[in-house]
Every structure is written in structure tokens, then in C-alpha cells.
A = this chain, B = another copy of it.
Amino acid sequence: MAEGMVVRGLRRVRTLLADGGATRSLEGKQLVRIRDLLHECASGIGGEVSARQRAGRLAETYLRLNDEGRASFLRIVATEFGPDPELVAKAHADYQEAIGSDAQWTAESALRNAMRSARLRILTQFNALSHGVKFLVDLRADLLRFVEKDAALRSLDRELESRLGAWFDVGFLELQRITWSSPAALLEKLIEYEAVHQIRSWSDLKNRLDSDRRCYAFFHPRMPMEPLIFVEVALTEHLADNVQTLLDEHAPVFDAHRANTAIFYSISNTQVGLRGVSFGNFLLKRVVDDLKRDYPRLVNFATLSPLPSFRHWAEKNPESWPHAFSAADLERIKRHLTPEMPQLADASDLSKLLADARWMTDARLARALQHGLLRLAARYLLTTSKGGRPYDPVARFHLGNGARIERLNYLADTSARGQQQSYGLMVNYLYDPDTIEANVEAFSRSGEIAAAAAIRRSARD
């Protein structure tokens, strides 16, 4: 897939690749040649203009390599173009000596200079490619895959992450509305990148861009047809509780000017190579501002979000089920089991019952399961954690942005994926302008989670 991402947009290279190029690893002679070219790049011999052009050719070489070749290439960059430890030691000694004196600040600069590696110089020269920024983002995606096996790439990865962080500063990003009048080449990317609720067809997409919907994305000025992150919004008059209803192409179009609620029902990050560079919270902020300007009646801003790790967590923590399902619950459930279903010794057996989706289509069984599942989910959201922060990644994102857990919705995503991730449950996170700041602070200071009273009660039961 990363392959695919690199290729996209690089026309000329695509042609190269079509010749079968991208399967090559780096062999002896070529390795030598590339090492030479890299040293030439780093040295800056010749003018800057021709240096960039040479770097551009080197970048094309990179694109023709297979994973093994690329890993070797990056290893050379990572290990042979770092700072010189002796120069660093010298500069560090001067720095420490200068502490407190007037010379401290110049010495600090000198130490920083000694730490400066040629790696970044090489990589940023790759900008000479017409899609250079995208190239580097995709190269970072490669790095992220390789670094897990090769710690020598660590420093290079961090330097590149830091540079991408500078380039993708939110001050440089452009918020754009995406509509049915946007270029097809761009809309096609949405279909490809949508990570939450798959876009099944062009008519599904068109429905998501109809007059009661909004779609926004952040773009970087040098990656014009590449949304970095995008959010899909539905304008409604109530807190949406079911995503299939929301995405129903045959549902009538709602008059957006009567809407009081904006539902953010899908947020997708698109660039693997930008991991560690965050702009999702700015996106939501800007989108809320834009919506308010166009629809002054809007008062509620909420999500309809998945709980992507709920089932995974529940299956790994069988001891949590009995807290959520009372004996009476269990009795009621048993009454609706059919013979071919797994039989229940105790509550922790429920995960076997829920392993496939049949229960969803049996209304009475589903009703019997409802309270217990909601309670289990409330506990999952409010009490589980990982490294001191909520276990659920989506909860982490929204709570960190100042949202409140507003409501849990039962049978809210009955797709295979919904059943797979969260037994069909979804959650509304509410962004209440009056409490966002306080929530952010409480959450970042002490991990305190904002939640509606009902959720809180349900978790406590």
C-alpha cells in the first residue's frame, strides 16, 4: 500500500515503475554508486540548483527500489550522515563551560550546529521532484515500517518527523470544503482514504455531499489534490443514533437551514507518513467556525463515533462481563437463546454468544442484551486506560480535544465492521463550546473524563 501511495501523483515515475522497476533491491555496484551520490548530495558541491537536480534523480532511484533496497538506502542515510561525535563532544564541553557567562548563547548555537546532520539536507533536497513533499511523506511511511526492525533508522525518523512537523504546521494548512463540484480526481481520494465508514460507490459519495451534508479537509499548499485529514458532517435536528440511517442514499434530503445539530460522523487521517504530526483538533475547531457562520441556528456539535477497541478489550477481559450483566439480565437473555447458539454458564460466556452477528437480528434477544452491553461500554470508556490515557483511541482523541461523552447508542452500526469492533455500539461525543476549555484542562492535568450523568451512572452500577 505504501508503494501505492508513493506512486500516486508521480506520473513520470509511474511510467518507470510500469517497466517493472520497483522490484529491485540494491546490489553491490549500485550500492556503491548510491553511496557516492549521497555523499555528493551532502557535500553540496556545485551550485544549489544543480545539487537539487541531482537529488531529484536520486529520489527517482529510490522509487524504483523494492522494500529491501529502500531499507538499505535509508540505512546509509541514517548511519553515514549523522553528526560527528567528536565535534559534538568538543562543542558540548565548550557549551557547558560557557554556562552562566555571556558566551553561553553562542556556545549553545555552536553545539546545535555540531548536532546538525547531513541527513535532512539530503532528504529535503529531494523536494526538487515536482511532488517532493508527497514523496517525503511517503518516504516517512516507509521509514515507519522499517524502523520497527532496524533501530539504526530511529534518529533519521525523528529528524524527518520534526521537519515534517515544521512544514505541516497548522498555520500552513488550508481548510477547504469538498463538494460534488470538487474535482473528480480529489473525490476519488475520499473514496480511497475513507477509513471509518467505507464509501461504496460514487452515488454513496454524492449522497454524502448533498445539501444536508458537509465535508471539509485540510490541504497543504504543496500537495494540492491530497486531503491530509477530512471530516464528514451531517446537518440534522437531533443527535444521530444510527450510522446506517445517516448513510442511507434513499433517505429524503433534510433542509439544512432548519438544522440545529451538526454530527461529525467520520474523521479520517490519510497520510501514514505524517504520524506524530497532529492537526485533527484544529480541523474540528475550524469546521465548527465555518458551520456556525453558514448556519447560525446550529447549537449542538457532536460526533457519531465508533468504539474501535471495545470488543477486543471485552474479549480480553472476561472478568468485566459479570460486572455489567446481572443475574437477572442473564436469565432474560437465556430465555431467548435458540438451541444452536452457544449456551451460557456465566456472563463471561456472553462473548461467545456475541461472536457472530446473529443476535442482532433477533429483536427480543437484542433487547435482552441491551442494558448489559451499554453498561459494559460505559465502564470501558470511563474506567479503562493505557499509559494513563483512555484505552479507546477515538475516546482519547475527542476527550483530549475537550469533548464530553454524551450518549451510547445501541445497534447503531449494524455493519459487519460495527459488529466486529463494538457489538454495533456507537458513541456521541459532544463539543459544548462552554465547557471545551475546562474539559481539555481537566483531562490533560488529571485525566478526568467528561461524561453525561447517565453514562457515569451506568458505569457505576
Q: Which of A103, A166, A437 has the most CB of B within 10 A?
A: A166
Q: Does A92 contact B (CB under 8 A)?
A: yes
- Select which of B47, B153, B181 is within 8 A of A401 by beta carbon: B47
**Chain A residues proximal to chain B, CB less than 8 Å:** 11, 15, 45-50, 52, 78-79, 82-83, 85, 88-89, 92, 95-96, 99, 102-106, 108-109, 111-113, 115, 124, 127-128, 132-133, 151-156, 158-159, 163, 166-167, 169-172, 179-188, 202, 206, 211, 221-222, 225, 255, 278, 281-282, 285, 400-402, 436-437, 440-441, 444-445
Copies in the assembly, this chain = 4
> How many Å lie between the Cα of A400 and that of B184 in the bound state?
36
> How many Å lie between the Cα of A109 and that of B88 in the bound state?
13
Q: What residue in chain B is nearest A184 (Cβ atoms)?
A: B184
Neighbouring B residues of A115 by C-beta, 8 Å: 111-112, 115
Cβ contact within 8 Å between B99 and A154: no
Neighbouring B residues of A180 by C-beta, 8 Å: 183-185, 188
Cβ contact within 8 Å between A437 and B46: yes
Cβ contact within 8 Å between B105 and A154: yes
* CB contact under 8 A between A181 and B444, given known A155-B109, A202-B202: no
Cβ contact within 8 Å between A172 and B85: no
What are 30 A-B contacts defined by CB distance under 8 Å? Answer: A46-B441, A47-B436, A48-B278, A48-B281, A48-B282, A49-B282, A49-B285, A82-B105, A82-B108, A85-B95, A88-B95, A88-B111, A89-B92, A92-B92, A102-B151, A105-B154, A105-B155, A109-B155, A109-B158, A112-B115, A127-B170, A167-B169, A167-B172, A171-B222, A180-B183, A181-B186, A182-B183, A183-B183, A184-B184, A221-B222
